[in-house]
């Protein structure tokens, strides 16, 4: 294998690391912040299930990204992932909430613009639609779950200590589900752009064949896990500051809604089941885990009244969502120009 491949892959792994550091907080931040689960337990569960999600269910969303722009040259894929990582880093630095999904989509569009490759309007509109649909759907699911929980809690009398134990167990279950969904849905952001370049030879363990894509998914999953172990502690501890303090029950509902939405947008089995039964299916698109959590929290807060929502914070969040893809596309375009014209590397 060309050692250059590993160098090119570093940008994707860097993006994976950033995703692990930031998005693990969407899954376990509230549970760790409210001291319901220790950071160590959360990190182990999150890392294991992110890798499992990436390996088992990561293919669906990767195909959609491939349709948006099939980057066949490794240097091009390197710059695309790097632009997304830079955009994520810059937005985080300026205190704006960021989504790796939006950053990578923006970066791919930047590559399309640079390479004069037409962006498939159907795929793009499908992706853009999910960015609106994802938080709205998360809010809707959170409202339904919250109301059901309220209804049940009025009728079922559970002692506080037992309820505490059940909430902890549920947070671990929902967190594991969330981590699996994160791995399944967001692995495409991390290594999706490298799939068309097919950088690894097929690897055999006994009679098992491990394809280049599976190796990429494993590597991406490990990068996310590294991000979780090395940098997520601080983010998890402070996650509640911006959006306000949540009760453990609300935290559980937020994480559950987030996980359900992410799974809905990444499960190939669910998609085929819906199609089989003549139901409208959801597109398999990498959606933002942050958008899902924000949507769920806004949904829960809306139940307390329209004024309970901190609209100024929400405006800032939405601004971040609009700026991220634009910034990533711009960085990608400029970066590819340099890579091609200064370093003489084939990016298309």
Partner 1 sequence: MYKLAIRAYFDNGVCNEFETRLERIHVIESDSDALRREIEKQLYSNTLIPDSRGNVLNLIERVDELLSVYECSLWDLQIEKPQIPKEFHEQFIKLTRMVIKAADEVCLSSRAFFNSPHDVPAYNHKVMLYEKEADMISAELKTAIFSSDIDLSLKLHYREFVEKIDGIADKSEDIADRLAIYAIQRIVY
Catalog residues that contact partner 1 under the rule CB under 8 A: 34-36, 146, 149-150, 153-154, 157-161, 164, 247-250, 304
Query: CB of residue 49 vs partner 1: minimum separation in angstroms?
Result: 23
Minimum CB separation from partner 1 for residue 160, in Å? Answer: 5
- Minimum CB distance to partner 1 smaller for 151 or for 203: 151
Neighbours of 11 (CB within 10 A): 23
Distance (Å, rounded) from C-alpha 348 to C-alpha 346? 6
For 52-88, letters b (16+ CB in 10 Å) and e give: bbbbebbbbbbebbbebbebebbbbbbbbbbbbbbbb
Closer residue to partner 1 (CB): 80 or 250: 250
In our burial notation (b when 16+ CB lie closer than 10 A, e otherwise), range 327-347 reads bbbbbbbebbeebbeeeebeb
The radius of gyration of the chain's CA atoms, rounded to the nearest angstrom, is: 20
Q: How many CA atoms lie within 13 A of 56 on its CB side?
A: 13
> Given the complex with partner 1, which of 161 and 342 has the nearer CB atom?
161
Measured from the CB atom, is 188 or 251 closer to partner 1?
251
Nearer to partner 1, 157 or 277 (CB): 157
- CB of 290 vs partner 1, minimal distance in Å: 24
Could you tell me the smallest distance in angstroms from the CB atom of residue 44 to partner 1?
18
User: Would you tell me how many other CB atoms lie within 10 Å of the CB of residue 256?
Assistant: 22
Structure-token pair, residue 150: 């309220």
Element (H, E) at 205: strand 203-205
Nearer to partner 1 by Cβ, of 161 and 279: the residue is 161
- The least CB distance from residue 168 to partner 1, in Å, is 10
- How far apart, in Å, do the first and last CA atoms of the chain sit? 21
The answer to whether 9 touches 195, Cβ cutoff 8 Å, is no
> In which residue are the tokens 């299930």 written?
49
Residue 38: CB minimum distance to partner 1, A: 8
| Angle of CA points 225, 228, 234, to nearest 5° | 175
Q: Which is nearer to partner 1, 158 or 275 (CB)?
A: 158
Least distance in angstroms from the C-beta of 301 to partner 1: 10
């Amino acid at each position: 294998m060309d050692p250059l491949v590993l160098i090119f892959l570093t940008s994707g792994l860097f993006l994976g690391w950033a995703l692990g550091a930031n998005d693990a907080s969407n899954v376990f931040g509230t549970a760790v912040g409210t001291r319901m689960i220790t950071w160590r337990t959360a990190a182990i569960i999150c890392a294991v299930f992110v890798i499992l999600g990436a390996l088992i269910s990561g293919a669906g969303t990767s195909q959609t990204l491939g349709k948006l722009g099939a980057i066949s040259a490794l240097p091009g894929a390197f710059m695309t992932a790097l632009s997304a990582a830079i955009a994520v880093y810059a937005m985080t630095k300026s205190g704006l909430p960021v989504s790796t999904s939006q950053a990578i989509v923006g970066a791919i569009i930047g590559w399309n613009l640079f390479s004069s490759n037409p962006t498939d309007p159907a795929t793009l509109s499908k992706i853009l639609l999910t960015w609106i649909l994802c938080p709205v759907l998360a809010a809707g699911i959170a409202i339904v779950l919250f109301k059901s929980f309220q209804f049940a809690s009025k009728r079922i009398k559970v002692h506080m200590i037992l309820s505490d134990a059940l909430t902890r167990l549920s947070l671990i279950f929902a967190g594991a589900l969330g981590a699996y969904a994160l791995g399944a849905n967001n692995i495409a952001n991390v290594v999706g752009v490298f799939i068309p370049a097919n950088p690894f030879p097929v690897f055999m363990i006994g009679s098992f064949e491990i394809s280049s894509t599976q190796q990429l998914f494993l590597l991406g999953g490990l990068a996310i896990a590294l991000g979780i172990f090395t940098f997520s502690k601080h983010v998890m501890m402070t996650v509640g500051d911006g959006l306000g303090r949540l009760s453990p029950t609300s935290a559980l509902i937020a994480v559950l809604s987030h996980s359900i939405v992410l799974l809905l947008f990444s499960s190939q089995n669910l998609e085929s089941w819906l199609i089989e039964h003549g139901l409208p299916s959801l597109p398999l698109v990498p959606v933002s885990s942050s958008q899902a959590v924000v949507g769920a929290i806004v949904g829960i807060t809306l139940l307390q009244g329209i004024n309970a929502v901190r609209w100024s914070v929400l405006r800032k969040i939405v601004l971040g969502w609009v700026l991220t893809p634009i910034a990533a596309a711009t960085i990608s375009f400029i970066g590819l120009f340099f890579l091609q014209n200064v370093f003489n590397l084939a990016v298309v």
